[in-house]
Amino acid sequence: MTRPSIFSRFLKADGSLPLARQLSLTLALIFVAATLVAGVLLHVIFSAQASAQIERQSQFFMDSMLAVREYTSRQVNPIVAPLNDQGTEFRPEAVPSYAATSVFSYLRSNPAYQSFSYREATLNPTNLKDKADGEETQIVEAFKADPSLKVLSGNRTMALGTFHYVAKPIRITKASCLVCHSTPERAPKSQLLTYGNSNGFGWGLDEIVGAQIVTVPIEEIENARHQSLVITSGLIIVAFTLVGLVTNAVLKRLILRPMRAMSLKADEASVTPGTVEFGERRRADEIGLLARSFERMKQSLVISMQMLKDRQP
């Protein structure tokens, strides 16, 4: 024996439930199912949009810092580097990584970007502030293990929350970089006076020595995604509820009330057919068709009752 489906349980074709209740239950079932499906789809769409937004932000800041590095390397370094060779005070403005981190620190003075960060983490830095921590070391080692790898991205859990990061390898591609990072003998005296001769040396051409890492906060974007999902879902529920109420009211007005009225008239016509008038027969819809059928039945009943009266002595 076939088991009845959930839908058929609501639609009692045997007439055991009033039509008004069946319509209300059917609309409620449809709207609940549609709301659940819409909620799942919106969650998937908004999550994808939030991930894309996080990725775009990370990539934008990474590209911006790369532009700062390139500008420093081409425009600033040729001017400032000779000063480091001649003087006793080292001018870090000649170093592309210093320029990028300095620009980013000014950017973070804007409250909108306080949670963002930019690091040029290296395994053997000249300035120990740039020393890679445990997770950063893993990122650098991943680049060293696969030199063809151009970008790494993922999430990092930090003290202030969860952040999305985008990392690119720092590769020594210019021989001019080795002036400061090959041996202490080649380094400017001002650099040795400032940072000493123990760190930041032994680098080689085409070697990956670190990673540029941009981190952007996830929490704010996730909160915005959740808020958008709640608002949109709420609007969908309100819209479905209004549609259900209006549909129910229209069906009652166009179908259920005329049918009840004709049912009462049919009961009255079974007793006194001559006094009943099916005014709905003028309608052009199915209600009118049903009313005209009742009208013909009434006329037949009137004729039959009259014939019975005429046969009585």
- Give CA–CA dist 203/125, Å, rounded: 10
Beta carbons of 177 and 188 less than 8 angstroms apart: no
For the chain, give every domain's residue range: 41-217
User: Which residues lie below 8 Å from residue 258, measured CB to CB, with a gap of 6+?
Assistant: 280, 283, 287
Q: What is the pLDDT of residue 179?
A: 83
What's the pLDDT at 123? 92
Q: In the chain, count of helices (H) and strands (E)?
A: 10, 4
Q: Cα separation of 41 and 85, whole Å?
A: 62
Residue 267 is predicted with a pLDDT of 81
- Checking DSSP bridges between strand 117-122 and strand 161-171, what pairing results, if any? unpaired
Return the axis-axis angle of helices 286-311 and 257-269, rounded to nearest 10°.
0
Strand, helix or coil at 163? strand
pLDDT at 84: 79
Helical residues (DSSP H) of 252-285, grouped into ranges: 257-269
Segment-wise mean pLDDT, segments of 10 residues, the chain, 313 residues: 54 62 81 87 86 84 89 88 79 88 90 87 90 90 91 80 87 84 87 87 91 87 82 87 85 81 80 76 81 82 76 66
H or E element in which residue 112 lies: none
Among 297, 290, 303, which Cα is nearest to 261's? 290
Report the predicted TM-score, pTM, of the whole model to 2 decimal places.
Answer: 0.64
Q: Check residue 1 and give its pLDDT.
A: 46
Number of other residues whose CB lies within 10 A of the CB of residue 244: 17
CB 210 within 8 A of CB 122: yes
Using CA atoms, how far apart are residues 120 and 124, in angstroms rounded to an integer?
Answer: 11
| The two structure tokens encoding residue 216 | 């952007």
